[in-house]
Structure 1
Amino acid sequence: MKALVFDDERTIRKVLEKILKKEGLEVKTFESGINATDIIKKEKPEIVFLDISLQDANGMDILKSMLVMENRPYVIMISGHDEYNYLIEAMKLGAFDYIPKPFDIDKIRRVIKEIREILSAKTVSDSSEVDIVGKSPAMKEVFKIVGRASASNQPVLITGESGTGKEVIANLIHRYSNRSDKPFIAINCAAIPSGLIESELFGYERGAFTGADRSRPGKFQAADGGTIFLDEISELPLEAQGKLLRVLQEMEVTPVGSNKRVKVDVRVIAATNKDLIKLVAENKFREDLFYRLSVIEINLPPLRERKEDIPELVELFTKQALKIHGLKKGGFTEEAVKLLAEYDFPGNIRELKNLVNKLIAIYRDRPITPDLIQIQTGAENKNSFDWKEGIKKEVSEMFIQEKKNIYTKIIEEAEKVVIEEILKYTKGNISEASKYLGIHRNTVHKKIEELNIDKGRE
C-alpha cells in the first residue's frame, strides 16, 4: 500500500514518513503542492496526507481536483487549524478524515487500519441496472401476475402495507405493457385537497373557478394512450369516486366548468394500504367502483414475509446510493447484511431504502459493519411488536363475535395484566407496586377488588 505526503514543514514530513513506514506503507513525501494532482495521478497511491495550507498551493483546491479522478485515493487532510469550518469543508469535498497538528499518532494508526479494512472488505455494491428485485416465492407470484396484467388493458388494484413498493409494481406493469412508449402518470389521491381532486384528474376550463385564468388538461388527458396510477385510492372523495367510475365505463372525461366530453385511452392502476372491502361495508367506498378497479388484484407482501429478498434489496439500494453520492467504493459487509435480514422492517422496503441511503451518506466509502447499524433486530424486535398484534387479534375476534363494550373489556384486561405482573415483581407489596405503576396505592387496592386480581403475598 502506497502513501504520499504533501506538507511544507520538513519535521511533519519526517514524522509522518516514520509512522507510515512502521505501518508497512511505501511512502513518498513532497514539500510543494504545485504539481500535486499530476503526481497523484502518476503514483496512484491508496492514501494521501495533504496539508491544507501549503506555501505554494491550497490543499482544499488540490482535494477538489481529485474529485474527478477515476480511482480517487483516500485523502487525510492535515492542518494547524482546528476550526470546525475547515473540517466541514474538507469532509464536504470528500476527505476521508481530518487530523489537526500536533498529530495524535494513535489516530493516524487507526485511520490506516480503517483504510486497510476498507480495501480488503468485500461489500455488496454491485448489481445490474434494475429498480426492483425479489427471488422469494411470494415475489415470484407477484411477478407472475404482473406478467399477466401487462398483457391486458384491464384495471389493476395493488394492495399492501405502506412502503411495500406499490408504485414500483405499477411502473413495472406499464413498462412491460403495449403502452410502454406512452406516459406513466402517478398521482397520490391523499396529497390533493378534496376540492381540487376533480380538476387535477379531469382538468378544467378557463373561468371554472377563481384563479382559473386558462384551461388546463387533467391527469387523465396527460396519460392518454398510457397508464395512470392512482395511489391511495381509498382517500378519493365519494363524489369524485362516482366521476371516476364513469370515466372507467365510458373512457371519456368532462373537465370542470365544461359540458364537453373528451375521449381518453388510459389504463388505470390503483393502489391502497387499506381494506377496501371494509370501507365498502362502511359506505366509505363505492362498491361498483371497487369491482371495476379490482379486475386484476395484486397483493404485495410485507418485507418481514420475504426476508430472503433483503440481501438483494440492500445490494440494489447500495448501488443507487453510491451513484447519488458519486462514490466508487463502499457498502455493507456480509455480516451487516445478515443483521439487516433479521429485522422485521415495519416500514417495509421504504424503511430499508432510507436506512441504506442514510448510512451511505454518513459513512460514504467506508464498509458498513454491524456495529454501525442502529436498529432493533431478531427476538427483541418481535417482542416489541407482538403485544400490539395480540390486541389487534383480540379486537378482531370480539368484533366478529359481535361483542359489545369492546373498549372497556380490552382496557380492563390490559389493566389486570399490568397490575398482576408488577405485584409479582414487588412480591405483593402494594405501596411499592404503586410507585412503579405511577398510581396511588388506594387506586391499586380499588383495582385489585374491581378486577379480581390475585395480589400474591405481601
Structure 2
Amino acid sequence: MATLLSWLGRKDLDHMKADKPASIATIALKGKVLDRIIILANAWDDEWHDYQDWLMRKLACAGRSRTTVTIQRVRITSPIDYSSITKVMQKQLHAISVDADQIYLNLTSGSPTMAVISVLLGKSIGKCQLIQTSPKGDLIEVEIPVDFATEYTKASTDALQELTSDNPKLDPAFDSITAKSTTMRHLVKKAQRLALSDLPALVLGESGSGKEVMATAIHNASYRADKAFRAVNCGALPESLVDSVLFGHVKGAFTGAGSDHAGLFEQADGGTLFLDEVGELPLNVQVKLLRALQQKEITRVGDVKTKTIDVRIIAATHQDLFQMISEGTFREDLFYRLAVGVIDMPPLRSRVEDIPSLIDVLMTEINQQTEKHPLFDSKKISDDAIKFAQSYQWPGNIRELWNTLNRAVLWSESNSISDQDLQSSVLSACKIRAGSSAFTVPGDIQQHIDSIRKNAVHSALEYSRGNKSKAAEALGLKSHQTLSGWMTKLGIEE
C-alpha cells in the first residue's frame, strides 16, 4: 500500500480556491499512484471538507478515484514547536508503517519545522521516500547524502572515548562540586557518565553530604538542562497531600481543591524531578511512582484520565533502603527501578582533602552575604582553623560546616578566624579536638543548645538596637516572625 503523509499548508487551500494544484495535489496527481493520502492539520478546519471534496474530484478526473483522502486533526503547541510536532509524526509514522509498502513524506506543505522533523524521522525508515514540489509544479524526490545513524554512532563513540580517557573533560555543570580528593574525582566522573544517559538515578549519602547539589549538577550536564528541574523533600510532605503534590489533582477532588492543579511530575515534564528522602514516601504513593517510571503515565487525584509525561527521576535518601525493603516499608521493585545509576556521596570525614577548598568556597559566599552589614568586615580563616576542620568529624557534613563557619564569622572579633573561634562555634555533641578520641556533653544537650541560642538572640538584638528584622537577618533566620518564635520559646521578653 502506497501512502502519502503530508501536513496541510495554507497554499494548498488558497490554490484550491483558484482550482489550481499546490504541493499536495501535485504529488497526488503527477506522482506515482497512491492508495491513500493522509493530511495532518491543526488549523483552518472550516475549509477541510471543501479541500477534501475538491482533491477527490481532481483524483477522479485523473483516473485515480481509488485513492482515499483523509484529513486528520492533530494537536500541536504551535507550527514551530519541535516537541509536539515530533510526537505527532512519530505516532502517525508508526501507525502507517504497519501496512504500508511505500511511504511518501511531503516536505513542501506546512512549516519549516514540520519539514525538518519529516526529514529526521523519514531517514530512519527504509521504505520512506522524501518528496517536494517546485513553484513550477515539478516533483522532486529528495535524497539526503547523510547517514544519520552512522554520524550518531561516531559522535557517541568519540564522547565515550573522551569519558574513559585518563583526563576526561568535565561538564561545567560539575564546577559547583568540590572534588580535590581522589574519592570525589572518581565520583564526579561517574556522575558525568550518568548525566549523559537518561537513566533514573539514586543518590545515597548522609544528611548534609550534598545530594541535591549532585542531583542538580547531573541535570545541568544532561540534555534536559534547558528544561525544568523540580525538587521536593518527600519527608516534608504531609501524607494527606503527597499524592496531590506529586501527581496533581482536578477541581473538586477533595475539600479545598477549588481548581485543577498540575503536580510536580507535570511541572517537570521534559526535565528532571528530584525526590529527596524518597524513603519517606507512603507505600500507596510508591505504587504510583513505580507506574510513572514504568509506563511514563500519571493520573491526577480525582481524575480518570492518564497523562503521558517525560520526566527523568533522580531520587535521594540517607536511609538504608535494603533494610526498609526487608521491613516492608519500601517496595523492592521500586528500588530496582530507581537504583539504575547509583551515586554514593561520601561523608565529609571521608574526604578530608576537600575541606580546605570547601572552606574557601563557603567563606567567599559568607563574606559576600555579610558585606551589607555595616559592623562586619570580610574575614579570613587561619591555617590552624583549617587544621581543626580537617581533624573534626563533621557528623552534619557540609551543612554543619556551613553553619559553623557562619557562626564563627558572626562571633569572631578578629578579621581572622582562629581554631578556637571555629571550635567554639561547633554545636555538635561530638566536639573532638585533634588527636582526641573522647567527647563530653555539657549537661543536658538541649539546655546547652537553648543557652547558645539565647545568647545569640541577645547579642543580635543588641547589635541591631532592637530591630528584629535586622537581628533575624544577622542570625541567618528567614524572617522576624521566626525570631519572635525563638524568643517566645526561649522566654526572652520583647
TM-score after normalising by structure 1? 0.54
Contact 1:343 1:381 in 2 (8 A): no
Letter in 2 for 1:243: K
Q: Identity across aligned pairs (percent)?
A: 44
- Could you say which structure has the greater relative contact order, defined with CA pairs below 8 angstroms and 6 or more residues apart? 1
Within the alignment, does 1:371 sit opposite 2:416 as a pair? no
Partner of residue 180 from structure 2, selected from 124, 132, 135: 135
Q: After superposition, what is the alpha-carbon deviation per residue over 1:286-319, rounded to whole angstroms, capped at 9, x for unaligned?
A: 0000000000101111111111111111101101
Following superposition of structure 1 onto structure 2, how do residues 81-160 of structure 1 map, counting pairs within 5 Å?
131-160=176-205
Match in the other structure for 1:195? 240
Letter in 1 for 2:237: I
Contact 1:226 1:267 in 2 (8 A): yes
Query: For 2:195 and 2:414, how far apart are their aligned partners in 1?
Result: 39
Match in the other structure for 2:384? 335
Query: For 1:229 and 1:364, how far apart are their aligned partners in 2?
Result: 41
Partner of residue 349 from structure 2, selected from 304, 313, 321: 304
Within the alignment, does 1:248 sit opposite 2:293 as a pair? yes
Query: For 2:345 and 2:271, how far apart are their aligned partners in 1?
Result: 23
Query: For 1:166 and 1:190, how far apart are their aligned partners in 2?
Result: 15
Q: CA deviation at 1:281?
A: 1.1
Partner of residue 349 from structure 1, selected from 398, 408, 414: 398
Match in the other structure for 2:255? 210
Within the alignment, does 1:362 sit opposite 2:411 as a pair? yes
Match in the other structure for 1:42? none
TM-score after normalising by structure 2? 0.50
Letter in 2 for 1:240: V
Match in the other structure for 2:332? 287
Q: After superposition, what is the alpha-carbon deviation per residue over 1:333-391, rounded to whole angstroms, capped at 9, x for unaligned?
A: 12211121111111111110111122223348711112212243345654349xxxxxx
Q: CA deviation at 1:131?
A: 3.3
Within the alignment, does 1:172 sit opposite 2:217 as a pair? yes
Query: For 1:365 and 1:268, how far apart are their aligned partners in 2?
Result: 47
Match in the other structure for 2:303? 258
Within the alignment, does 1:271 sit opposite 2:320 as a pair? no
Contact 2:229 2:274 in 1 (8 A): yes
Within the alignment, does 1:323 sit opposite 2:368 as a pair? yes
Letter in 2 for 1:326: E
Q: Secondary structure at the match of 1:270?
A: strand
Partner of residue 268 from structure 2, selected from 212, 216, 223: 223
Letter in 1 for 2:438: N
Q: After superposition, what is the alpha-carbon deviation per residue over 1:4-50, rounded to whole angstroms, capped at 9, x for unaligned?
A: xxxxxxxxxxxxxxxxxxxxxxxxxxxxxxxxxxxxxxxxxxxxxxx
Q: Secondary structure at the match of 1:383?
A: coil
Pairwise CA RMSD of aligned residues? 1.8
Kindly tell me: are residues 339 and 253 of structure 1, through their superposed partners in 2, closer, same or farther at Cα, counting changes over 3 Å? Answer: same
Kindly tell me: are residues 382 and 261 of structure 1, through their superposed partners in 2, closer, same or farther at Cα, counting changes over 3 Å? Answer: farther
Q: Secondary structure at the match of 1:341?
A: helix
Unaligned runs of 5+ residues in structure 2 are: 1-173, 441-494
Q: Secondary structure at the match of 1:171?
A: helix
Q: CA deviation at 1:175?
A: 0.9
Count of aligned pairs: 257
Query: For 1:378 and 1:358, how far apart are their aligned partners in 2?
Result: 18
Contact 2:219 2:272 in 1 (8 A): yes
Kindly tell me: are residues 332 and 264 of structure 1, through their superposed partners in 2, closer, same or farther at Cα, counting changes over 3 Å? Answer: same
